[in-house]
């Protein structure tokens, strides 16, 4: 009765367990199911060529299932997911197990819990801080904006991926990608110059006009218009000097050192969906980082 699952899915051990739970509609004493399932899992079940069967607790499996629903778009950004009780019934586990799965997803900023209201799919729009991934702050005060940033789209064109761009975006070299250049200004002072590259397929139809027309974070546009959710990112930071073009756009001198911030942003499953090279003017702003 579980043939279909074990045949089509690579993570068979996990799904065997869950299917076992799902099959047992009412017959057994439910409290014993998970114990049996874990034995199966740690023991002989699963692929015999794997020396470490990679024991995975139930809540991790639930987490994976929720993640799949998120990725498949079953629940849209900013919408509420089913309540813990509903999910517990659906997955045939206790509420506490669902809770632990959701706890981890909330810690990873994929879900947002709101007491009394429900659990919601995180989004880059409607966020308290305008730019979730931007770490640049003004020297005076910790307000993210001295007023909102002024955005200026310089360019948006299709180009063929160079080898490093292709590698960063996990596409083939020479494949068509989108290249965008923009400037962010604070208090009318150009402060950030960004070049960014996006894989062509998911962002088909993106133009400078649409970028200019949209008000709000660019990642919010990616979510709502293209269904691409940036989930996490990594940045590599260096100190550099600008070239001639960059000087003009940032209205700065060629001898002013700038922060080079190269960001790779990922969607679900660690799939890279954006490469962004930023130049930050750091005479009136600084890059803030918290170490724990």
Cβ closer to DNA: 31 or 253? Answer: 31
∠ CA 97-4-56, rounded to 5°: 30
Please choose, out of 38-46, 103-111, 162-170, 194-202, the segment that lies near its own copies by the rule CB under 8 A.
Answer: 103-111
The partner in contact with residue 240, picked from DNA, its own copies, none with C-beta cut-offs of 5 to 8 angstroms by kind, is its own copies
CB of 227 to DNA, least distance (A): 24
Task: For residues 38 and 20, give the distance between their C-alpha atoms in angstroms, rounded to a whole number.
Answer: 11
Residue 52: how many other CB atoms lie within 10 Å: 5
CA distance 40 to 195: 51
Residue 286 near which of DNA, its own copies, none (CB within 5-8 Å, type-dependent) = its own copies
Binds 291, which of DNA, its own copies, none (CB < 5 to 8 A, cut-off by type)?
Answer: its own copies
Any contact of residue 238 with its own copies (CB under 8 A)? yes
Least distance CB 32 / DNA (angstroms): 8
Please tell me what DSSP assigns to residue 149: P
Q: Which stretch binds its own copies (CB under 8 A): 11-19, 38-46, 57-65, 282-290?
A: 282-290
The candidate with the shortest Cα–Cα distance to 208, out of 181, 246, 177, 245, is 181
Which among DNA, its own copies, none contacts residue 31 (Cβ within 5 to 8 A by kind)? DNA
| 282 binds its own copies per the rule CB under 8 A | yes
Measured from the CB atom, is 86 or 108 closer to its own copies? Answer: 108
Q: At what angle do helices 84-91 and 58-72 cross, to 10 degrees?
A: 110
Q: Does 232 bind its own copies (CB under 8 A)?
A: yes
Q: Is 255 in the site for its own copies (CB under 8 A)?
A: yes
Instruction: Annotate each residue in 126-145 with x if it binds its own copies (CB under 8 A) or - if it does not, as one string.
Output: ------xx-x----------
CB 13, min distance to DNA, A: 11
CB of 56 to its own copies, least distance (A): 15
Residues 109-115: contacts with CB under 8 Å, at least 24 apart: 109/231, 109/232, 110/67, 110/70, 110/231, 111/81
Q: Looking at 28, 47, 68, 109, which residue binds its own copies (CB under 8 A)?
A: 109
Report d(CA 182, CA 259) in Å as an integer.
16
Report CA-CA distances (Å) from 291 to 165, 280, 288.
Answer: 30, 21, 10
Residues at the contact surface with DNA, assessed by CB under 7 A: 30-31, 33-35, 38-39, 41-42, 55, 57-60, 81, 83-86, 93-97, 99-100, 113-119
φ, ψ dihedrals at 185, nearest 5°: -120, 140
Q: Which of 196, 199, 206 is nearest to 166 (CA)?
A: 199
Task: Tell me whether residue 203 or residue 286 sits nearer to its own copies (CB atom).
Answer: 286
Distance CA 158, CA 263 (A): 20
Distances (CA, A) of 90 to 23, 49, 174: 11, 32, 46
The 3-state DSSP class for residue 213 equals helix
Report the distance separating Cα 43 and Cα 60, nearest Å.
Answer: 18
In three-state secondary structure terms, 166 is helix
Partner interacting with residue 172 (select from its own copies, DNA, none; CB below 5-8 Å by kind): none
- Touching its own copies, residues 11-30 (CB under 8 A): none
- Site of interaction with its own copies (CB under 8 A): 107-109, 132-133, 135, 232-241, 255, 257-260, 263, 280, 282-283, 286-292
């Amino acid at each position: 009765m579980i043939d279909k699952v074990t045949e089509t899915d690579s993570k068979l051990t996990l799904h065997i367990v869950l299917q076992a739970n799902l099959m047992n509609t009412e017959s057994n004493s439910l409290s014993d199911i998970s114990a049996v399932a874990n034995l199966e899992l740690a023991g002989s079940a699963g692929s015999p060529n794997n020396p470490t069967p990679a024991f995975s607790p139930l809540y991790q499996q639930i987490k994976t299932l929720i993640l799949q629903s998120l990725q498949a778009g079953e629940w849209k950004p900013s919408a509420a997911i089913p309540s813990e009780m509903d999910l517990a019934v659906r997955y045939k586990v206790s509420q506490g197990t669902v809770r632990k799965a959701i706890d981890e997803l909330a810690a990873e900023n994929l879900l947002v819990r709101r007491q009394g209201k429900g659990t919601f799919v995180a989004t880059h729009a409607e966020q308290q801080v305008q730019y979730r991934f931007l770490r640049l702050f003004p020297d005076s005060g910790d307000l993210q904006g001295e007023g909102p940033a002024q955005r200026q789209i310089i360019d948006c064109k299709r180009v063929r991926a160079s080898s490093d761009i292709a590698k960063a975006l996990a596409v083939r070299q020479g494949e068509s990608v989108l290249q965008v250049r923009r400037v962010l200004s604070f208090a009318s002072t150009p402060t950030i110059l960004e070049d960014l590259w996006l894989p062509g397929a998911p962002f088909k139809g993106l133009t400078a006009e649409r970028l200019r027309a949209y008000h709000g974070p660019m990642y919010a546009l990616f979510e709502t218009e293209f269904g691409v959710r940036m989930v996490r990112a990594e940045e590599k930071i260096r100190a550099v000097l600008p070239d001639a073009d960059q000087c003009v756009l940032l209205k700065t001198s060629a001898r002013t050192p700038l922060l080079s911030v190269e960001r790779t942003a990922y969607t679900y499953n660690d799939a890279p969906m954006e490469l962004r090279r930023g130049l930050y003017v750091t005479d009136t702003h600084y890059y803030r980082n918290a170490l724990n």
